[in-house]
Amino acid sequence: MKVTTSAIVNGVFEDKYGKRGSQFSPNGMPTYSIPFEIHNAPAGTKSFAVVLEDKDTITASGFVWIHWLIANLERTAVTENESQTAVDFVQGANSWASALGNFNIEEASAYGGMAPPNCLHRYELIVYALDCKLDLAKGFRFNDLHFALQGHILDQAVVMGTYDV
C-alpha cells in the first residue's frame, strides 16, 4: 500500500496547509486540509484510519502533536480542504484541543494545520488499511483510535513532509 499527496512539493508541505495559509477557524487554527490518495490497498480493506502527526513538536510541547484524525474512511482519495465539508468519514479531536492548544473539541475535530513554534518540523501522514469500520464518534481522541486499531490493521503507509516556522 502507498499514500501520496500533492500537498508536498520537494519534501515540503505548501504554505496554504498551515500557519502561512489563508483559512483559519474562529480561534486561529489553520483549517485548509491536505489532499491525499491511497494506492494498492490490500484485499479485504473495509475502511481506512488516518493520522497526521508531528513528533518534532516534543521539543516545544512535550508530546506528539496530532493534526488530523480520520476514522471510517471508505474511499481512497480525500480532496483538498475536504475536512471542512466531508460527512462520510469521522474526524477526531486534534491537539489544538489540548491544554496547550486550548480549543474546544468541536472546533478541533477537524484538520488543524501546521504551525511549528520553534524550528523546521517533520509531519507524517499515516494511513491504516483496516478489516472493519471502527466504533468511534466525532471528537474521538488519539488513544481511542490507537486502541480501536488493535487487531484490525491489514497494512499501513506513510508519507512525510516538512513545514518551517
Residues 120-159 pLDDT 10s: 999 999 999 999 999 999 999 999 999 999 999 999 999 9
Q: How confident is the model over 24-37, as pLDDT tens digits?
A: 999 899 999 999 99
pLDDT tens digits, 84-106: 999 999 999 999 998 777 788 99
User: Grid coordinates representing 144?
Assistant: 481511542
CATH number where 83 lies: 3.90.280.10
Long-range contacts of 22-29 (CB under 8 A, 24+ apart): 23/81, 25/103, 25/107, 25/110, 25/112, 26/107, 27/103, 27/107, 29/96, 29/101, 29/103, 29/107, 29/108, 29/112, 29/113
Could you tell me the pTM of the whole model?
0.96
Query: In the chain, how many domains are there?
Result: 1
Residue whose C-alpha cell is 499501513: 156
DSSP code string of 89-110: SEE---GGGSTTT---HHHHSS
AA identity, residue 128: Y
What mean pLDDT is predicted for residues 41-58?
A: 97
Structural domain boundaries enclosing 63: 2-163
Q: In angstroms, rounded to a whole number, what is the distance separating the alpha carbons of residues 75 and 161?
A: 23
pLDDT value for 101: 72
